[in-house]
Amino acid sequence: MNRTPTLDDLVLAGIALGAGLLLAFLSRTLLHWLAGHAKRTRWSGDDVIVDALRSVVPWAAIAGGAAAAAAVLPLTGAVQHHADQWLQVWLIAVVTFSAARVVAGLVRTVTQSRSGVAGSATIFVNITRVLVLAIGFLIVLQTLGISIAPLLTALGVGGLAVALALQDTLANLFAGVHILASRTVQPGDYIRLSSGEEGYVVDINWRQTTVRQLSNNLVVIPNGQLAKANMINYTRPEQGLTVLVQVGVSYDSDLEHVERVTAEVVTEVMKDVAGAVPDHEPAIRFHTFGDSRIGFTVILGVGEFSDQYRIKHEFIKRLHRRYREEGIRIPAPTRTVSLQQGAVVIPQQRSAEEMTPESFRTE
């Protein structure tokens, strides 16, 4: 069309654009109401979906209104084509960013539900977000009439050079994927490496694993190093564990009485101290006739690794107090040193030729 827009054309275009804006407002209000209901459900995935729809639907309504307004105006073919093309790019961009948010949110929800902790494994979240954005970018190029085949070819050739230049980074990336896929380590686990680092796993991202020590310091470990290290995971396969406390009593003690009193203290600690396992059965095992005592091991049940320090603290205090009340003696170690008659006479320093077995004598 080459004619000049009339007042009717402008009115119709305004009505179309206004209808799009009104539809965007109504859809946003409706989705806000749905978001309130989604928060009351157990599954957090619906919160992610509704939140993404609140971003894409209003913008899609505005884009539809703008497309309808452009359709009723007497635009030339070239202008109409460019307008439709840029509206498509706008809509694709909105859908791409919303889809990236939805997919990343769902992946985060899945990782949190599988690991059972509040932290998230950001490596999967970042990978899925980048993949969705890359696909959306290629679709935008195709919409604008730009051929993506040469771009993909260039990316394939350049990817080899990038892979050689980023060997360590890619090694850490695939090591992190392997760690999470094998489920040997998850965010929230308490681990100890053979090199001495230990603590709670806070996050596993594309390059490194962050561990929070009990002193609240953060230790950053490259994923490649973590995958190759000997490691103890104190959270898997079960979070609960047992700890051993070594005790000793004097030889004149009644071992039946010692065992009964110790079991009572263990039962008391398991019920009263936070973090203990209330249904843990007391276990006392005598094992050593020592120099001044009979040694035995007390096995305590704890719900989580860091709880052991508080539980052992309370157990030792209560056991010591109870032994004093019951007259059970914990002897201090003693050592007797006997002196024999005679002395070793050390000769004066001589040359190598003069050093013979007869040079040393005992009086």
CB 52 within 8 A of CB 99: yes
Q: Give CA–CA dist 275/270, Å, rounded.
A: 8
Phi-psi region of 170 (alpha: psi -120 to 50; beta: other; left: phi over 0): alpha
Spatial separation of the C-alpha atoms in residues 278 and 44, rounded to whole Å: 33
The per-residue pLDDT for 110 is: 67
Cα separation, 355 vs 347, in Å, equals: 10
Asked if the model's pLDDT at residue 286 lies above 80, the reply is yes
Positive or negative, the Cα torsion across 216, 280, 187, 163?
A: positive
| CA torsion through residues 128, 134, 140, 145, sign | negative
For the stretch 122-138, pLDDT in tens is 666 777 788 888 888 88
**Residue 337 confidence (pLDDT):** 59
Ordered alpha helix ranges (H), the chain: 7-38, 45-72, 77-115, 122-143, 149-165, 167-182, 223-228, 255-272, 307-326
DSSP 23: H
Amino acid 225: pLDDT: 86
Beta strand 198-204 pairing with 208-212: antiparallel
Q: How many Å apart are CA 282 and CA 240, to the nearest integer?
A: 15
More confident residue, 148 or 139: 139
Confidence of residue 349 (pLDDT cuts 50, 70, 90): very low
Token pair belonging to 278: 């209330």
Phi and psi torsions of 266, nearest 5°: -60, -45
pTM here? 0.52
Decide if 53 contacts 45 (C-beta within 8 A).
no
* Better pLDDT: 276 or 350: 276
DSSP 348: P
> What tokens does 145 get?
């009439």
Across all residues in the chain, what is the average pLDDT? Answer: 77
Contact 211, 198 (CB under 8 A): yes
**Percentage of the chain surpassing pLDDT 90?**
23
Any idea which residue has 């049940």 for tokens? 301
Model confidence at 360: pLDDT above 50:
no
CA distances from 239 to 190, 249, 302, 304, 305 (A): 9, 32, 9, 6, 8
